[in-house]
Structure 1
């Protein structure tokens, strides 16, 4: 059985994946924006099963990408762990491994040394542009904390997580779907353009419109005991489909069936098109958003989702918060359809979704 605990990450992402006997194995994916760690994530982690030293155990912490609404809470977690170690205090949590891609690693994957040649331009862009500077500083901060805690290296992938990489952890089969080859090529092209023009503004422009973090977003396909889940970060839908096709996981003859699909980029209509939902059918669709800071999920996205399914199909659309425009749209779309809508109650700290039966 796979169980998912989606926290109220406001306009961001933060959730737990639990599997195995008594759901004792845990993966934390993203940490939400500022305040989420203190408001809910820290408390939820403290309730996890404890190891033989009596410390809550986290098998994997995965940061999909460096956007604030995914990364800030994880940085708070790592810093708390490091402070406890420096002060000689008991560790608040035991983390076995951390998965995180630096953009530099991905750029160098196909063009060794390219990131080093562009580094002076990136340094200049970081000094003069707030958006670049924030992402740049965050990336180095996470690498520093990981190194101090002995969590560098993306074990057991032992390198950047990219399309085609696969490992099994305690019965959980983890396949990396993205960054896919086309996304890596786009990143490389942006860096090469900056190098050719010797212009830090090229780097700054790519960060400002989210190209860099979104292209580098980690997408994972999880499989356990016959159940599947696709965790999409903020990746583009076309890159997700390309990665699935490249791995032979998606064919032209039929949609891929999933037990759970987390919608990319909080349901934005900029990341997906109708063919995304035509290609991926799920029993559970999850939108992590609050609809306040951004208009997520977009009504077009919800329309494409429902139109991709037969009126007789039974599935659930989950919202991590009550979002009036989304609830109104789904209510209208439900006419003549059999899907359900599930909204986290404001009194519940998490939205829990279980897929599959206990063995």
Structure 2
């Protein structure tokens, strides 16, 4: 009889930090910010280490600060792979500079040993989402540098090349656990690579090689791009009020355009199957890319794909969750990892689209790891739950703030 599946969502601010326990395997997906790792993920991993457990996979889906900052702190503190201070890790999945191809790269461009820190500067990694400088780039403190320094098995399933899947790729992780890799594709990695290449050409009149300093610069550049997007965003969402009527109808809108971020498009995304249960983890993926892979994975007459848990892409951002994608997936549990502060995630349009495109006769549960004050109040409305046949799960925090806002543990049996 398979073990129950435990899914833990840790307090990661506007980011992700997810631990999956299958009994015979442990998978950690992202680690949020430095404070997320230090205050929540680290104590949990040390307790598992004391029980004789080890991580089967540590997956850093992509390079944004809300996914990678805690990973830098984790590997830095864990130390040498053969003598870890927190927990042993069988393999790390993470795509960095050295895993990318450059379509327009001329032979001989950019080789040398100039420390990238001398060119780009840098500070400590992001403690929380409130940090102005979101990612640290001191020499030797990028995730890629640390993985090399401490000799981790890094992308070894892929012969130390990029974690990618132009076609769905099914891998066996343990006796009863299978992972089907759905992305990123080579084309999405190329998009990120070319953006990175143009950036380096602007700032560095030298030659690129594959030393750790270029990993540092790569991580810094990608975060600068994300910060620019954030600064340009206009957050004008209105607070939902019950007297305005059916909130689902109010937020049922036509979908306009999808996210075009190179970093989000590079997300490592996958389907897990264990004991007849299916779980889909989308990172911050771009919807058209997921749609294309799901169509390859599942015959059209068998859509929507029936799964037990979906980690909704990009914390429920509307640009990352097209109605077409939502129609292709029918889940029992929809997982939203965000405190809603920085980007106002999840967007109400996404939640409304899930409820509108999910058969009303089929029950579903929306799982939020933050209370978000009054922002999501109407989502928890009993009349709405009855009309659209759904329930909600929230962190176990009482009206006085006792408990951990940002932490939810879901058991799937």
**TM-score under structure 2 length normalisation:** 0.72
The structure with the largest helix share of the pair is 1
Question: RMSD of the TM alignment (CA)?
Answer: 3.5
**1: CA distance, partners of 2:199 / 2:306:** 41
User: What does 1:46-195 align with in structure 2 at a 5 Å threshold?
Assistant: 46-48=46-48, 50=50, 56-82=53-79, 91-108=85-102, 111=103, 117=109, 127=120, 134=135, 141-158=142-159, 159-163=161-165, 164-170=168-174, 171-187=176-192, 190=195
Question: Which among 194, 215, 229 is matched to residue 209 of structure 1?
Answer: 229
Q: CA deviation at 1:299?
A: 0.7
Cα distance, 1:272 vs. partner?
1.8
Q: CA deviation at 1:240?
A: 1.4
Equivalent residue, structure 2, for 1:15: 18
SS of 1:36's equivalent in the other structure is helix
**How far off is 1:318 after superposition?**
0.2
Alpha-carbon distance in 2 for matches of 1:101, 1:314: 37
Distance 1:192 1:350 in 2: 39
Greater percentage in strand: 1
The answer to whether 1:39 aligns with 2:50 is no
How much does 1:165 deviate?
3.5
Taking the TM superposition and a 5 Å limit, the aligned residue runs for 1:273-352 are: 273-323=322-372, 324-329=374-379, 331=381, 333-346=384-397, 347-348=403-404, 350-352=407-409
Which structure 1 residue ranges, 4+ long, deviate > 6 Å from structure 2? 123-126, 128-133, 135-140, 192-195
**How big is the shift at 1:277?**
0.8
Give me the whole-angstrom Cα distance separating, in 2, the residues matched to 1:35 and 1:321. 16
**Which position in structure 1 is the counterpart of 2:7?**
4
- Which runs of 5 or more residues in structure 2 are unaligned? 124-131, 205-220, 231-260, 398-402
Q: Is the 8 A contact 1:127 1:133 kept in 2?
A: no
Counterpart CA distance in 2 for 1:16 and 1:240 is: 22
Closer, same or farther: CA 292–151 of 1 in aligned 2, 3 Å: same
CA contact (8 A) 2:27 2:58 kept: yes
TM-score, length-scaled by structure 1:
0.81
- Residue pair 2:136, 2:142 contacting (<8 A) in 1 also: no
1:270-296 per-residue CA deviation (whole Å, 9 max, x = no partner) reads 212211211111011000011122201
Q: Which residues of structure 1 form unaligned runs of 5+?
A: none
User: 1:337, CA displacement in angstroms?
Assistant: 1.9
How far apart, CA to CA, are the structure 2 residues paired with 1:39 and 1:191? 33
